[in-house]
């Protein structure tokens, strides 16, 4: 029985029978439904009554204020009772307008026009269309339809967003993709395909973008899209010069720069937006996930007036653009983060967490690199420090399983690394507990597999 008297076995049986779980391999090690019934702060309780410390803000990294936040719940409830939803296009409700004004205040540079959507993929779709329509309507590049993205990027699962995505588990779906998308290398820590040092490789990545724009034909390239800090293989933090060069290259060729902040936005990196770490002002920015701290599904696209105003009518729409109750959740989440100083706190905690991870894990032979910023850290593992080879087996997943099963701490495997993205309300005690769990897990898995 669950805490509230439901039959746990029956619920699991129904889940297996009726829930189509995306990205879950039939019969694979992780194919059993994971059912949680309650959350409070950073803790989650599952259907069997076991409590976990969630160091991911849910495995999608959206829950930046943890679980059970009564203030957000009350704001949503009040809005639902007053006016839950009023349509799309020019039909607006007060919380949606207030949210647009708040985002305009918080966003980098001149990004002061906002269109709301229901999530990250929709935000990327919207951004791609905005870029094309601007290039055409402004007369700058009437034929431009191409977008350049980067190796291992994840920008979403709808067909347009998927076409600028190169993350392996979803990549083969869109063949043939939406035409006009190509990929260049992206800066990575620890390892890259050419065995270069990190700084030189980042230089090469920027140069490759310029070469690709020339190859595609600058007059046909509408936009370049990138996550300011990429998630693939765990928190890839480029040098400052990389984004400075990308900005210059895009400007030189009239290519709009889209910063995808869906996973990095709203405090995850110890700044409202990861662009701030680079002094980067994108032309278009996408957000979602922590916009509402996961309390309601919502995303947004931001751009500056010059771009929005050049398009006589933006030809794009979604039914739930600017849903008033979702906007109420976002307004409350932002208010809490500002009032409680959670963004500067995340910056300080990030330094603490990285040092703690380095102290606890740095000497382990299978640990390649600890990297991260704010409440977002990754530990890259390697099968061979000399060749920098990643594990081809399930070692990374085994570490994450050990953390969950033996220490009750939730982390995630992400390619060659495991990742922690604690909610911004996590205490240093909770971060310490997560670091201890990670060290125990790495040590135990390495010993069990004869790896040191």
Ligand X SMILES: Cc1ncc(COP(=O)(O)O)c(C=O)c1O
The residues binding ligand X (CB under 6 A) are 119-121, 124, 154-156, 227, 231, 260, 262-263, 288
**Dist. CA 2–CA 99, nearest whole Å:** 38
Nearer CB in complex with ligand X: 300/445: 300
Within 48-197, where are the H helices?
A: 70-83, 94-106, 120-137, 159-163, 168-171
CB of 291: closest distance to ligand X in angstroms?
A: 10
- In whole angstroms, what is the distance from residue 372 CA to residue 236 CA? 8
What span, in angstroms and rounded, lies between the C-alpha atoms of 73 and 79? 10
Q: How far is the CB of 288 from ligand X (least distance, A)?
A: 5
Q: How far is the CB of 237 from ligand X (least distance, A)?
A: 15
Which C-beta is closer to ligand X: that of 161 or that of 437?
161
Using alpha carbons, select from 448, 342, 366 the residue that is nearest to residue 69. 342
Closer to ligand X at the Cβ: 246 or 288? Answer: 288
C-alpha to C-alpha distance for 145 and 126, rounded to whole angstroms: 14
Residue of 376, 354, 358, 375 whose CA lies nearest to 367: 358
Q: How far is the CB of 286 from ligand X (least distance, A)?
A: 7
The whole-angstrom separation of Cα 41 and Cα 235 is 24
362 HSE (CA, 13 A, CB side) = 8
Q: Where do runs of H (alpha helix) occur along 266-341?
A: 305-310, 324-339
258 or 381: CB nearest ligand X? 258
Which of these, 265, 327, 322, lies nearest to 296 by C-alpha position? Answer: 327
Q: How far is the CB of 328 from ligand X (least distance, A)?
A: 19
CB of 169 to ligand X, least distance (A): 12
| Strands 256-260 and 284-287, sheet pairing | parallel
- Name which of 141 and 160 has its Cβ closer to ligand X: 160
| Cβ–Cβ under 8 Å, residues 425 and 444 | no
Q: Using an 8 Å Cβ cutoff, are 120 and 157 in contact? A: no
C-beta of 210 vs 260, nearer to ligand X: 260
**DSSP run (H or E) holding 449:** none
Nearer CB in complex with ligand X: 95/294 = 294
Q: In angstroms, what is the minimal distance from the CB of 341 to ligand X?
A: 26
Please report which helix (H) or strand (E) contains residue 147, including its range.
strand 146-150
3-state secondary structure of 77: helix
Shortest Å distance, C-beta 139 to ligand X: 30
Pick from 173, 280, 277, 292: nearest CA to 235: 277
Residue nearest ligand X, CB atom distance: 120
Nearest approach in angstroms of CB 227 to ligand X is 5
Closer residue to ligand X in complex, CB, 124/370: 124
CB nearer ligand X, residue 154 or residue 391: 154
**Checking phi first, is residue 267 left (phi over 0); if not, alpha (psi -120 to 50) or beta?**
left
């Amino acid at each position: 029985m669950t805490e509230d008297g439901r039959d746990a076995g029956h619920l699991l049986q129904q889940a297996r029978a009726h829930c189509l779980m995306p990205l879950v391999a039939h019969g694979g090690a992780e194919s059993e439904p994971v059912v949680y019934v309650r959350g409070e702060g950073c803790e989650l309780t599952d259907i069997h009554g076991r409590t976990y410390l969630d160091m991911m803000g849910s495995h999608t990294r959206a829950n930046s204020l943890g679980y059970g936040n009564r203030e957000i719940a009350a704001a949503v409830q009040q809005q639902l009772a007053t006016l839950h939803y009023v349509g799309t296009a020019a039909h607006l409700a007060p919380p949606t307008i207030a949210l647009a004004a708040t985002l305009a205040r918080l966003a980098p540079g001149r990004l002061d026009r906002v269109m709301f959507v229901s999530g990250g993929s929709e935000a990327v779709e919207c951004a791609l269309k905005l870029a094309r329509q601007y290039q055409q309507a402004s007369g700058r590049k009437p034929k431009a339809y191409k977008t350049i993205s980067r190796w291992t990027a994840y920008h979403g699962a709808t067909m347009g967003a998927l076409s600028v995505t190169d993350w392996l588990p979803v990549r083969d779906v869109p063949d043939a993709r939406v035409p006009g998308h190509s990929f260049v290398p992206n800066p990575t820590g620890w390892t890259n395909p050419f065995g270069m040092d990190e700084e030189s490789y980042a230089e090469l990545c920027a140069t490759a973008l310029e070469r690709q724009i020339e190859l595609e034909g600058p007059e046909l390239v509408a936009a370049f899209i990138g996550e300011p800090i990429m998630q693939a293989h765990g928190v890839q933090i480029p040098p400052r010069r990389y984004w400075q060069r990308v900005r210059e290259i895009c400007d030189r060729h009239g290519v709009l720069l889209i910063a995808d902040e869906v996973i990095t936005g709203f405090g995850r990196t110890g700044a409202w937006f990861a662009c701030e770490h680079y002094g980067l002002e994108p032309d278009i920015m996408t957000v979602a996930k922590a916009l509402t701290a996961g309390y309601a599904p919502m995303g947004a696209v931001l751009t500056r007036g010059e771009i929005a105003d050049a398009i006589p009518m933006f030809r794009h729409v979604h039914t739930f653009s600017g849903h008033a109750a979702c906007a109420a959740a976002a307004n409350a989440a932002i208010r809490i983060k500002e009032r409680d100083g959670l963004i500067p706190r995340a910056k300080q905690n990030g330094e603490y967490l990285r040092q703690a991870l380095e102290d606890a894990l740095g000497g382990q032979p299978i640990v390649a690199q600890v990297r991260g910023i704010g409440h977002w850290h990754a530990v890259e593992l390697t099968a061979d420090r000399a060749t920098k080879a990643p594990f081809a087996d399930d070692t990374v997943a085994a570490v994450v399983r050990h953390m969950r099963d033996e220490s009750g701490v939730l982390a995630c495997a992400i390619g060659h690394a495991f990742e922690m993205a604690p909610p911004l309300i996590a205490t240093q005690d909770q971060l310490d507990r997560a670091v201890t769990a990670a060290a125990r897990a790495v040590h135990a898995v390495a010993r069990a597999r004869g790896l040191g």
